Chains A and B, each alone.
Chain A
Amino acid sequence: MVSFEGPSHPEGGRGPGPRVRWRARGAVAAVASVVLLAPVTAIAGHMGGWTHDHSSAGVPYRPHGYNDIVRVFGQPCGPNMQGAHVWWPHINAPWDGGYQGHHPYIVRNIVHNIRSHISAAHNEGAWYYGQYGGVCKQRTGGSGYSLHAFGAAVDTNTARNPYGQCSWNGVGVNGVAYGTYLPNVWRESEAGHNFRWGRDWCDPHHFQYATGW
């Protein structure tokens, strides 16, 4: 058995050390915030060692309509709703990290094309709490389940982007205004990662890997 070990990731902890280090990197983040106005692909240009995974496994087929969603993701509130998980630095509050569960079908896309993309671009300060993944819930007033119940949707930066707000507040955990940098990485318009952005129906923190539901 091979074993890896070492101290916690410097950006991952909640103590004063990491916070100070993060603030010390403010200048880097500020520069990055200027870059946010440039196309995502330009940012990707200085991410040595990291590349997109736009293969069919990295960006798989995105289902359309309820029956197609069930065919791809299985029944809602099923065991795969949280069959994969990812650790994020800000889940419940700034620097209050935790796991977000997802369906395994989209975890390559979430980790490699989105989380790693933003990390490699040194833009992790763009994230903000709270974040949610797979949860078993019904849609408001509906006779059916939310896409979160399939593990096919992600909410991020909800504290600054509540449901019902029809615009995106891109101020990240470091106080820098990133504009629509984060949504552009998630969605299909820029990086091709194919998540559908809920801002179109005034749910700006919501990104879903399906349409027609």
Chain B
Amino acid sequence: MNRTQKIAIISPILVGLIGAAVFFGFVRARSSAVGCAEEPAVAIAGLDSAVARGQGMAAIVGNKIVLLDAVGDRTAYAPPISGNGVLRHVASAAGVGTAYVVDKEGPDTLVSVGSRGISEISGEGEITHPTLSGSGDLVWAEDFQTLKLSPQGSQPARTIARPQGSTAVFSPLFTGANELIAVVQEPVENDTGEDDSLNNLFRYDIESDTWTRLTTFQGTSENWSVVRTPVVARDGLVYFLRLRGVASEARPPSFELWSLRDDVASKVRDLPKEMYLAGVSSAGLLWNVHDGTEWRLFQEKGKGLFDLGCGAVMVDPRAQPDPDIPREDPASNRRSARQGKDAPNSSAGLVDAEMAIKVGDFSTRQEAEAVAERLGLPGLELITHRVAPYAIAPGKWGVVQRLPADADLTLVIEEFHRRFPEYSNRSWIVSLSGGTPSG
């Protein structure tokens, strides 16, 4: 392929448009199918394919690109370039083409397929969230640190720095001839930075190279608020998800559908479960929902969700391992030898790890004794930090029941929580090792 052919083609993301059905209740999936049937590829997604014309909504199923037409009929194509990577995040634009990421160990590749050629762009890191404009521009996020803009597929791409004071940027979206919006991560106190705590939407003016805040969501490391999968309808209405959670609580976050019109964000409705926007069609919103094994696409229509089959648009693959975190640590080539040397100290089954269920913590011995009475279990003991320094804080008391050496700790604590729900927030698996024996 010559250089001319490698010029990228692009265009506006999803198919159709229309707008925005605003519903107030969610519904059922038409299909309860789990798993994906094998879909043979009809062809390689070459220059004369529907993929190059952006003819339909593109989704990724395993190592194939599937195009869905307006009535949901599917056609699978083999990607022209995939290497040994995992396909992730795809965008298509009617009359322009399709762009997708090949996620590889190390820097990723962005591939765009259009009537003018196939373009392979080597990133400097993790590439995510490619988006096509109607005029053939391509934008994506790199390492969540910058955006890259390739006007008309030109190279090198222009680097767009994230807003000053922010800590990450991703999910860019063309919302006008000269503007983008993107999700921006903002710093919060006591946050380690590896996970998300606070996101807001910002607009980027391409000509003036300036960012403008669009939303003013608040969040902390504990009470977090993040934004996911913005999509734009033909009338310019932007839909996005707001997720809110409590870091220390063992319950899933809330998923909410929001819209943005004329720079005013408003909540549309609560969502019933974990689900991400995949686009907007002439019939309404398109969703990605994980069925426990694969990502599936759903068309929102009326008050129902209709299963369009397997496919992932801007969601991360779950059926295929992330190639950036292989099984083996690259520096671990001495492992086997070392483990051999450890063997005398590590005989399986000889170590009594002294695992226990603990109920606690109590400020006084009397409180602990009272709880032990209420539990009424055989073999309960009271502990302090001196005898079990890894199990209980200094100055506190706990009630413990030792467990057999071969106990399945997960099942044990689940059963304890079922049996004593009043203590489910005050009981844990602990180790009684490390202390000073005392009578």
Contacts and interface: CB of A to CB of B under 8 A. Distances in A.
B243 interface: yes
A205 B400 CA distance: 32
A83 B385 CA distance: 20
A78 interface: yes
Given A6-B384, A86-B390, A143-B276, A201 B193 contact: no
Contacts of A138: 195-196, 226, 228, 243, 245, 253
B345 interface: yes
Interface string B304-335: 00000000001111111110111111111111
B81 interface: no
A1 B372 contact: yes
B321 A65 contact: yes
Interface string B378-415: 00111111111111111101000000011001101110
B431 A136 contact: no
Interface stretch (B62-70, B90-98, B349-357): B349-357
B194 A84 contact: no
Which residue, B183, B380, B409, has most C-beta atoms of chain A within 10 A?
A: B409
A13 interface: yes
A213 B190 contact: no
B321 A143 contact: no
A207 B17 CA distance: 44
A53 to B, nearest CB: 4
Given A51-B350, A87-B389, A196 B325 contact: yes
A152 interface: no
Interface in A167-213: 187-192, 196-198, 200-201, 203, 205-206, 211-213
A82 B320 contact: no
A79 B252 CA distance: 10
B320 A65 contact: yes
Interface in B130-170: 141, 144, 168, 170
Contact of A196 (B197, B329, B413): B329
B252 A83 contact: no
Given A86-B431, A143-B229, A192-B335, A41 B389 contact: no
A213 to B, nearest CB: 5
B55 interface: no
Given A56-B348, A188-B335, A211-B325, A141 B144 contact: yes
Contacts of B318: 65-67, 144
Contacts, number: 311
A127 interface: no
A137 B195 contact: yes
Given A112-B431, A136-B249, A205-B192, A190 B390 contact: no
B42 interface: no
A7 interface: yes
A87 B192 contact: no
Contacts of A83: 409-410, 413-414, 428-429
B192 A111 contact: no
B342 A192 contact: yes
Nearest to A14: B394
Contacts of A8: 384-386, 394-395
A97 B394 contact: yes
A33 interface: no
Contact of A64 (B321, B330, B343): B321
Interface in A41-60: 41, 44, 51-58
Given A140-B196, A212-B321, 5 more contacts: A6-B438, A64-B327, A80-B414, A138-B253, A189-B338
Interface of A: 1-9, 11-13, 39-41, 44, 51-58, 62, 64-67, 70, 74-87, 92, 97-99, 101, 103-105, 107-108, 111-112, 115-116, 119, 130, 132, 134-144, 146, 148, 155, 158, 162-164, 187-192, 196-198, 200-201, 203, 205-206, 211-213
16 contacts: A2-B382, A5-B384, A65-B319, A83-B414, A99-B393, A111-B390, A136-B246, A136-B251, A136-B253, A140-B170, A141-B128, A141-B141, A143-B288, A143-B316, A190-B335, A192-B342
Interface of B: 128-129, 141, 144, 168, 170-171, 183, 185, 190, 192-197, 224, 226, 228-229, 243, 245-253, 276, 288, 292-293, 314-322, 324-335, 338-339, 341-343, 345-351, 353, 355, 365, 369, 372, 380-395, 397, 405-406, 409-410, 412-414, 417, 424, 428-431, 433-436, 438-439
